[in-house]
Structure 1
Amino acid sequence: MLIFLLRIRYVLNDPEVTRNKRVLDLGSGCGASAIAAKISGAAYVLLNDIDPVAAIAAKLNCELNGLEPLPCLTKDLIGSEPDGWDLIMLGDMFYEEALADGLHAWLRRCIASHGTRVLIGDPGRAQLEGHDIQRQLLRLARYDLPEAVREQNHGLTSTTVWSYQPEL
């Protein structure tokens, strides 16, 4: 959980990232990044996670943060026709090479068709570091994890916020 909290710090520290933007929180999990975007002034936020339990957790987290529940889709958007998002945020979705490949292709299409900005939060998964997408990432921020969290997360030591900037 703390890995997600450290990632949302980037949005909360710089609300201009999401202010007045249409934001998709892809692979939203508990909704922490989406909530940070809404608190920071996003015009519209959509959560997307294929796990229906994540939608329930996000709804509860919205209530705990004094927000109306944010809309959530539980269908897989990766590979769908790109929508006109100003910003897509995703985190820790590079745990499998096939998923990383699909994300890479779909995010490129979103950027090419709508000029979408993409922010990726990742705790240093080998699948991201070894993937072709790595050459197209610009590091925006890095947050070290406390020792107790490192132990709980299989030795991962930090989380990084990347701007995805593919060659189109």
Structure 2
Amino acid sequence: MIFDEFAIKSLIRPIPDFPKKGVIFRDITPLFQSPRAMRMVIDGLVQRYVGSDFTHIGAIESRGFLLGSTMAYELNKPLVLFRKQGKLPADVLSEPYDTEYEQAMLEVHADSLTEGDKVLLIDDIIASGGTFVAAARLIRRMGASIYEVAAIIDLPELEGSQLMQDIGVPTFTLTAFTLNEH
């Protein structure tokens, strides 16, 4: 199946003033409701990473779980979950982060990665980069490295992709939106 960026973008629903005034939330649930679009998204990501030199897929809560679990299955890689505070049952490492609309804590099981592991980090969107930076810090604290950050959407005006590149982490997205694009 050929990747069609216009088809993907047309299924990403803008929700103005959610979760707070001034934010345009990019809702990907319509993508998940379209088997064809979902296949394009997953196939586009799998084709990029098949045969790549990484050891684990890291998925960020919660929409990243949907992408990460499918990618881990397709690429036969272990899946590491990065969750909001209080959701993991074993010993965790924690890292605070800020997004464009909240402050929170990201956690991962302390035994998820070891020195030498390389992680492909997945979520639905790169916005301000706060969540990705927190996950990158957790990965590095375990002695592992970040192979690349991947997402469906980039919001370049919020500078998350630039922030990732500034800390030495390459990024890849399937599409991008300007802040006011509908």
Q: TM-score range by the shorter chain?
A: 0.3 to 0.5
Greater relative contact order (CA < 8 Å, ≥ 6 in sequence): 1
Q: Which has the higher helix share?
A: 1
Q: Which has the higher strand share?
A: 2
* Greater Cα radius of gyration, structure 1 or 2: 2
Instruction: Please report the TM-score for the alignment, with normalisation by the length of structure 1.
Output: 0.47
